[in-house]
Chains A and B, each alone.
Chain A
Amino acid sequence: MNTPIIDANVQPHFRYNSEIRRYLSATHKLRSIPDVEQQWYQAPGGDYREDLYGDGYPGSDPQTVARHLFTDGEVDYAVLNPLTRGNIADYLLNSRICAAVNDWLLDRWLEPDTTDRFLGTIRVNPEDVRGAVAEIERLAGHPKMVQVGVPMQSREPYGKPMFEPIWEAAAAHGLPVAVHINGGNGVDHAPTFAGHAYTYPGYAAFMPLNSFVHLATLIIDGMFGRHPGLRFVFADGGYDILTPLMWRLDTFWMSMRDQTPWVDRYPSEYLPDHVRYCTSALDGPTDESQAERWLDFTDKADLLMYGSSYPHWSTSSPDDAVAGLGSTQREKVLWRNACDLYGIAAGVEGSLS
């Protein structure tokens, strides 16, 4: 492929579990912190690609990752979205962990990268609203930080008013908010609507679909309406269910409008300006011949960005993500939508000429 490719979803990891303590101050250096490997609903055999375990966790060496993505692969830019570790009741500790992760990202990945192909995420903890806003203010000015990152896991959906100062701060700095499944966040609810899953696939196949509840509340509680510049990225995919559920949300707007009249348009009309998804290995029809038409429903071609999920076991290549798509759709998914969202214009234009 000669067209540029932006990978909007890469998770770098610490080399070993205690490495994070280097970036914590004495106040929290000796606190109990979950492992890099996810402990809650860990995939049997490990969450990450087996072939990438080596000297340190998968995705922990910038040179190796750069080689895999940029040299062996065909990616031109990668958005790094590091995960936080697990269920942590102490929201202040959780915020310190976010700050440590952010400092490590700058120190190990972003600052040393003279090719400027790695971009970063400011991780924050939504349970600590003041702390999250402060962290955004601390790092939003860094040119390589292109988004704010929060966990999928939450005891309240992100459209609720307690989170508003965080989204406001992100939007004020032109930063999208990326939602990604983490090891957990605070003390979380069970991951499915029917309780805990008894199998790993029962967890992994369902979990990304929880993004719809965040999305629906962001619309219905008026968060998008109050913040025209606010954009959310749902980085684990789960967008195929967008069509049926947005149809449902649109249909019942006609009946429910008088309870929430700040929603002054069909809910689906908020999608183009406010919502993006990353591709995933579990999305898309299994019949490739349906892929092109399928993507047109709900104009999903305008909403998607290729995301590998490297180094997750489900890592998918650009070819996987755009299999069966038309050429305009491919272009949008592989780079144009991400370019527009993250403002990665200059370098890409150069590679087109």
Chain B
Amino acid sequence: MQRRPVCAIEDLPPGSMKLVAAGKFGVGVYNIDGALYAIANYCAHEGAPLCAGYVGGTNEFAPEEPGGLRHVREGRIARCPWHQWEFDITTGVNVADPNKRVRTYEVDVADGQVYLIA
């Protein structure tokens, strides 16, 4: 593990991701509404490059809503580019089965630089 410089914080605006060549498969560093998170670029299912997938929200059951759904956690859910498994970027935990997770990493900002510990 080492503390690696990733980029200037201006180069990682909210809603963006940088893929860092760390670890065996890479690590994705995400800026979600100003907070930084990092997850392994490796889906717990078949090893797909998780960070190549779309980021969005997810749906929860809301019986009082039309269609019974409410959209939540916008911008926080990484969907695997293959089977579309949903992982909460902020925790690394799979939305459907909390026993499945992806590795998370520490990220911090110092002097305008983003650092990843991986």
Binding site for B on A (CB under 8 A): 222, 253-255, 257-259, 261-262, 264, 266
For A261, give its contact among B61, B83, B100 (CB under 8 Å).
B61
- B110: interface (CB < 8 Å): no
B43 smallest CB distance to A (angstroms): 10
Asked whether, in the complex, the Cβ of B61 is within 8 Å of the Cβ of A264, the reply is yes
Residues in A with CB closer than 8 Å to B59 are: 258-259, 261
The 4 closest A-B pairs by CB, nearest first: A262-B61, A257-B96, A258-B59, A261-B61
Q: Return the chain A residue nearest B100 by Cβ.
A: A254
For B95, give its contact among A257, A259, A262 (CB under 8 Å).
A257
Residues in A with CB closer than 8 Å to B69 are: 261
Asked whether, in the complex, the Cβ of B83 is within 8 Å of the Cβ of A258, the reply is no
Residues in A with CB closer than 8 Å to B60 are: 261
B38 smallest CB distance to A (angstroms): 23
Asked whether, in the complex, the Cβ of A255 is within 8 Å of the Cβ of B61, the reply is no
Asked whether, in the complex, the Cβ of B45 is within 8 Å of the Cβ of A254, the reply is yes
A183 smallest CB distance to B (angstroms): 37
A interface SS class: helix
With known contacts A255-B83, A255-B84, A266–B97 Cβ distance under 8 A: yes
Query: What are 25 contact pairs spanning A and B, CB under 8 A?
Result: A222-B68, A253-B96, A254-B45, A254-B83, A254-B85, A254-B94, A254-B96, A254-B100, A255-B84, A255-B85, A257-B95, A257-B96, A258-B58, A258-B59, A258-B95, A259-B59, A261-B58, A261-B60, A261-B61, A261-B69, A262-B61, A262-B63, A262-B68, A264-B61, A266-B97
Q: Return the chain B residue nearest A252 by Cβ.
A: B83
- Known contacts A254-B94, A254-B100, A258-B95; can you find 16 more A-B pairs with CB under 8 A? A222-B68, A253-B96, A254-B83, A254-B96, A255-B85, A257-B96, A258-B86, A261-B58, A261-B59, A261-B60, A261-B61, A261-B69, A262-B61, A262-B63, A262-B68, A266-B97
